[in-house]
Structure 1
């Protein structure tokens, strides 16, 4: 339980709670994401990010971009490698939704915020997925309007 009126910053209180949890886990075990901490404690993303930063600076956890945050030091214990990076999994899922007709040509795809919530990933992960889809020709972006499914004749050929 967080003490919102106390003299200790919320991010330090969260860091202490997570520190205790981390002490019970094996090196390489995943740690809750910033979004998970944000939901669990009802705090702003910045507060959750600061708590993670404290633990990272202490060397208790480490983060691998696109994969997550883990207990220990990066070289301390092997973690199970993802076969496909998360941004590629998201791009493949959206591509499948386009192919199946769920997302139709010249119609908007879900916005960045919706995709963040749907896949529970960092903003940069969603942006990388979108860039991959854009480069392949599955989507196009209209400034100040959003991203749309490309016309079918523009889709990549298998």
Structure 2
């Protein structure tokens, strides 16, 4: 599939690359902002995944975007703070943090079990596990194997919260 440009047919991958450049120039996409996923771009442009990947490759070669493996592509430069929608596990973790801050879960109080969190959030086991792992990494909670995950003492909580 091609479109006609001033000098003849323009390959669809170039049409996609140009559309992304136009969105950046118009301020619709900002430095550090995540691009739509490959699948979303396929739908938007009616193109194959291979064609979308070629467009992204062109933009990477021109250093307009960069790609983080297993995350996605972002508008450059690489050192710009990333702007993206939170992933589902981050949303679940944020919800639990809010409950901790509001006092719904006190110090050394057990959090809902993995199966309860799966039911509450309609999420997969892996997603819930990632949310709890993030809270552990940040210092909000600690886990006692075969017992449960508990709210950490305030002095362990992240200072920027």
TM-score (normalised: structure 2): 0.49
